[in-house]
């Protein structure tokens, strides 16, 4: 039988980060079976390296018996806990009925895109999933390139210029900070300047704040929901700072939006996924509580993550010909290899994807190619995650003996994250071969 598929999905590719993650798992298993002792350095996936906070795990066990369907908007007590959390932690005050709980913030972003009218402005480089979501929903996409000299932040001028290219009455901006993949974080003043442009042009902002509590300087994060409450939907969840990506629980907060919008969101939610798994919602009550152990967990994991991110930034920045900027939050470093373009081309590597494939083959080191970040394939810029280490061991060590100086912090990172630090060495070694005009091949260390 001839099964006909929706044609517009030919334009959508599966998330490259998930594909590489599966590939690395298979490669690691293959090497184990075939006696290859060379480790894989996995810089291509952005999953928290820590186990979830112990009280959240306990709460999940306790509530394994919860099996009823719950309201599409989420368990009422959880919506209250989330609204309290946003008020307490981010100074973003809203009521429980302005919170919607969903199966991950990714899904809630897709639902928001489904209900909002207008083209979607996506600053690039960008997280891998916004473009496919917009394409699945057949929405017009307006990419806007951010620049190194602006710290890869969207500027009011860049936004304004992009908005002038469309006649649509309403536009949707997806703003993400701390940013995946560049690690940039916006100040309150920068957000206010963007909000002015949004007000002038009729822009609704989906502010993807899933990494808010991974901001290295923990008190410096400002939510767009505070700055532009009348036009912002804030999304967040448990996946990053509470290390519960696979639990699949995210939240959307509507600080001050017409009721009809939330009603439409709930129509889509109720008609597609019904509700988030009940035991997970009960466990999330603890994750959003004011319990000191959870608060300390978020703080300490962020200390560890920031230490690894800073060390990686320094190490990568010291490699000849690479450009990067220090991450200020999230799990990523954005690295520019364009100085090597000609040398890559000379040995037949003409796209960023070909370079990352070759590096993976030669040095067992995986980076996420710029194509997945909405960059042209001939732009040799990549995302480099710094989370491939045993987070639990690192957290234990940090708590027992927190580094007091920069040099202690570097030693700590070398001790707890050897795959990260060694992996940077493998990238450097690969580039040495490129510099000398050789076709890279693995060299036993
Ligand atoms: C920028 C960004 N937004 C959203 C998500 C999705 O988070 P969730 O697990 O809540 O769906 C991720 C996860 O990688 C992300 O990096």
Chain-wide mean pLDDT for the chain? Answer: 95
Whether 261 has a pLDDT exceeding 90, the answer reads yes
CB half-sphere exposure, 286, CA atoms < 13 A: 21
Ligand 1 neighbourhood includes 176 CB (under 6 angstroms) = yes
Residue 337 burial (C-beta neighbours within 10 Å; 0-12, 13-18, 19+): buried
Ligand 1 centroid to residue 385 C-alpha, Å: 14
DSSP 203-234: EEEEEE-TTGGG-SSTT----HHHHSGGGEEE
pLDDT tens-digit profile of 279-291? 999 999 999 999 9
pLDDT tens-digit profile of 171-200? 999 999 999 999 999 999 999 999 999 999
Give the residue with greater pLDDT, 42 vs 387: 387
pLDDT for position 60: 98
Identify which of 182, 240, 287, 383 to mutate to test ligand 1's pocket (most ligand atoms within 8 A of the CB): 240
Whether 444 has a pLDDT exceeding 90, the answer reads no
pLDDT for position 445: 61
Q: What is the 3-state secondary structure (H, E, C) of 107-119?
A: HHHHHHHHHCCCC
pLDDT tens-digit profile of 291-315? 999 999 999 999 999 999 999 999 9
Identify which of 180, 329, 331, 374 to mutate to test ligand 1's pocket (most ligand atoms within 8 A of the CB): 180
Confidence of residue 325 (pLDDT cuts 50, 70, 90): very high
Contact 113, 134 (CB under 8 A): yes
Cis, bond preceding 19 (omega within 30 deg of 0): no
Ligand 1 neighbourhood includes 102 CB (under 6 angstroms) = no
Contact 176, 236 (CB under 8 A): no
Look at ligand 1, atom 14, and give the residue with the nearest C-alpha: 46
Contact 141, 134 (CB under 8 A): yes
DSSP, collapsed to helix, strand or coil, labels residue 59 as helix
Ligand 1 neighbourhood includes 208 CB (under 6 angstroms) = yes
Contact 328, 221 (CB under 8 A): no
Look-up: residue for tokens 């067992």?
A: 364
Look at ligand 1, atom 4, and give the residue with the nearest C-alpha: 106
Residue 180 CA: nearest ligand 1 atom is 1
Confidence of residue 341 (pLDDT cuts 50, 70, 90): very high
Look at ligand 1, atom 16, and give the residue with the nearest C-alpha: 180
Residue 105 CA: nearest ligand 1 atom is 10
The 3-state DSSP composition of the chain as helix, strand, coil percent (nearest 5) reads 50, 10, 40
Residue 175 burial (C-beta neighbours within 10 Å; 0-12, 13-18, 19+): buried
Whether 143 has a pLDDT exceeding 90, the answer reads yes
Confidence of residue 36 (pLDDT cuts 50, 70, 90): confident
Q: What is the mean pLDDT of residues 62-88?
A: 98
Contact 55, 284 (CB under 8 A): no
Give the residue with greater pLDDT, 183 vs 36: 183
Ligand 1 neighbourhood includes 104 CB (under 6 angstroms) = yes
Angle made by CA atoms 196, 150, 323, in degrees to the nearest 5: 155
pLDDT for position 24: 85
Q: What are the tokens at 407?
A: 């040099």
Whether 251 has a pLDDT exceeding 90, the answer reads yes
Ligand 1 centroid to residue 236 C-alpha, Å: 8
Percent of the residues in the chain that have a pLDDT greater than 70, as a whole number: 99
DSSP, collapsed to helix, strand or coil, labels residue 173 as strand
Contact 48, 391 (CB under 8 A): yes
Q: 145 vs 126, 148, 156, 182, 423, CA distance in Å?
A: 9, 10, 13, 13, 29
Q: What are the tokens at 365?
A: 């080191």
pLDDT for position 322: 98
DSSP, collapsed to helix, strand or coil, labels residue 100 as strand
Domain architecture of the chain: domains with CATH: 7-50+294-435 (3.90.1150.10), 68-290 (3.40.640.10)
Confidence of residue 37 (pLDDT cuts 50, 70, 90): confident
Give the least confident one: 23-37, 96-110, 267-281: 23-37
pLDDT for position 20: 82
Ligand 1 neighbourhood includes 235 CB (under 6 angstroms) = no
Give the least confident one: 25-34, 345-354, 424-433: 25-34
Task: Give me the residues paired with residue 199 across strands.
Answer: none
d(CA 134, CA 137): 5
């Amino acid at each position: 039988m001839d099964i006909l598929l929706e044609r517009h999905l030919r334009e959508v590719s599966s998330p490259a980060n998930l594909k590489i993650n599966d590939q690395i798992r298979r490669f690691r298993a293959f090497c184990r079976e075939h006696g290859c002792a060379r480790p894989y350095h996995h810089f291509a996936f952005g999953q928290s390296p820590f186990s979830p906070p112990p009280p959240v795990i306990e709460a999940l066990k306790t509530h394994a018996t919860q099996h009823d369907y719950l309201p599409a908007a989420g368990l009422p007590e959880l919506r209250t806990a989330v609204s309290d959390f946003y008020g307490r932690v981010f100074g973003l005050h809203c009521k429980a009925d302005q919170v919607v709980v969903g199966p991950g913030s990714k899904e809630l972003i897709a639902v928001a895109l489904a209900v909002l009218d207008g083209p979607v402005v996506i600053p690039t480089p960008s997280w891998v999933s916004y473009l496919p979501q917009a394409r699945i929903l057949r929405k017009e996409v307006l990419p806007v390139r951010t620049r190194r000299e602006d710290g890869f932040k969207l500027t009011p001028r860049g936004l304004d210029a992009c908005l002038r290219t469309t006649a649509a009455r309403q536009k949707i901006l997806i703003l993400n900070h701390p940013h995946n993949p560049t690690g940039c974080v916006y100040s309150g003043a920068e957000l206010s300047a963007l909000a002015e442009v949004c007000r002038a042009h009729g822009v609704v902002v989906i502010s993807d704040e899933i990494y808010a509590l991974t901001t290295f300087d923990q008190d410096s994060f400002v939510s767009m929901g505070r700055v532009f409450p009348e036009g912002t939907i804030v999304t967040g969840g448990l996946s990053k700072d509470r290390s519960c990506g696979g639990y699949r629980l995210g939240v959307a907060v509507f600080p001050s939006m017409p009721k009809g919008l939330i009603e439409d969101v709930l129509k889509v939610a109720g008609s597609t996924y019904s509700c988030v798994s009940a035991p997970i919602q009960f466990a999330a009550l603890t994750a959003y509580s004011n319990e000191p152990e959870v608060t300390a967990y978020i703080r300490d994991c962020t200390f560890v993550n920031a230490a690894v991110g800073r060390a990686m930034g320094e190490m990568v920045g010291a490699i000849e010909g690479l450009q990067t900027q220090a991450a200020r939050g999230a799990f990523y470093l954005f690295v520019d290899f364009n100085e090597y373009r000609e040398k890559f081309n000379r040995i037949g590597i003409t796209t960023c994807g070909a370079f990352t494939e070759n590096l993976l083959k030669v040095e067992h080191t995986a980076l996420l190619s710029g194509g997945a970040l909405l960059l042209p394939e001939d732009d040799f810029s990549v995302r480099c995650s710094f989370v491939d280490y045993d987070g639990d061991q690192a957290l234990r060590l940090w708590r027992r003996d927190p580094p007091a100086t920069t040099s202690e912090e570097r030693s700590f990172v070398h001790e707890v994250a050897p795959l990260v630090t060694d992996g940077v060495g493998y990238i450097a070694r690969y580039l040495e071969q490129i510099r000398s005009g050789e076709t890279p091949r693995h060299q036993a260390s």
